[in-house]
Amino acid sequence: MSQKVLDALAKKFGDAVERTETQHGDEVAWIKRDKLVEVATWLRNDPAMAFDQGMFVTAIDTLDLRRPDANGAIRVVDLEAAGATRFEVCYQLRSLRHRHRVRLKIRVTEADPRVPSMTGLWSSFIWQERETFDMYGIKFDGHPDLRRIYLYEEFVGYPLRKDYPKDKRQPLVRRSDLPSSES
C-alpha cells in the first residue's frame, strides 16, 4: 500500500536505510540511528510524503526471542550470531493527506540504549517517548522532559524488559501488622 514511500526512502537515503520490508500489510524501514532525525524531517516536510501525524512510539525487547528454525522447531534466536541488537525502537507515522503509513525501526544495544528524540517534529511523541523510557529504559536524546510517566519515581528498573521478574513488586506502603507482607 505504501511501497512507494519505501522506494522513495531507499532512493533518497540509500545508506541510511538498512533495509525495507513489509509485514502484515505494514511497511517497515530500518533506519540508522544517527540519520533518524534527518530522514524523519524529510518524511514530514516533503509534499509527496507529508507525514503529519506521529501515531506511536514503542520498543521491542528481543531477549530470548523465539522463532521457528528451518525445520519448524521453535528455538531461541542467537542475536549476536544474527548480527542484531537487543532493542528495536519503532516509530509509526501516518499521513492524513495521502493516507499512507510507514514504520521506522531503529536498532539499539543494551549498553547504549539511546535514540534521538522526535518530539521536535511531532509533539504527540512527548508522552509516548516518556512511556517508552518508563517501560524499557530507552533514553531519548533531546526530549524536553524525560521522566517516568506511569510508574513512581521510587521504582527501580524497567518492567517491560524481558529480564524484569514478572511478579516482582516494589510496594510504596504495606500494613505494618501483616506478617505475610514481609517478602
Stretch that binds other proteins, among 32-40, 90-98, 100-108, 169-177 (CB under 8 A): 169-177
Q: CB of residue 182 vs other proteins: minimum separation in angstroms?
A: 11
Fill in the per-residue mask, 1 to 20: x = in contact with other proteins (CB under 8 A), - = not in contact. Answer: --------------------
Q: How far is CA 100 from CA 11, 52, 75, 131, in A?
A: 18, 11, 35, 25
Pick 129 or 134: Cβ nearer other proteins? 134
Burial of residue 66 (number of CB atoms within 10 Å: 0-12, 13-18, 19+): exposed
Rounded CA separation 105/18 (Å): 10
Q: Does 127 bind other proteins (CB under 8 A)?
A: no
Amino acid at 96: L
- Measure the CA–CA gap between 72 and 102, rounded to whole angstroms: 30
Tell me which DSSP letter residue 111 carries: S
Interacting residue with other proteins among 3, 109, 123, 181 (CB under 8 A): 181
The single residue among 159, 162, 163, 182 that binds other proteins, judged by CB under 8 A, is: 159
Interaction of residue 24 with other proteins, rule CB under 8 A:
no
Classify 33 as helix, strand or coil. helix
What cell does 37 get?
A: 532525525
Tell me which of 68, 112, 166, 182 binds other proteins, using CB under 8 A.
166
Instruction: For residue 7, report the phi and psi dihedrals to the nearest 5 degrees.
Output: -60, -45
Q: Which of 16, 59, 152, 163 binds other proteins (CB under 8 A)?
A: 152
Residue 70 binds other proteins (CB under 8 A): no
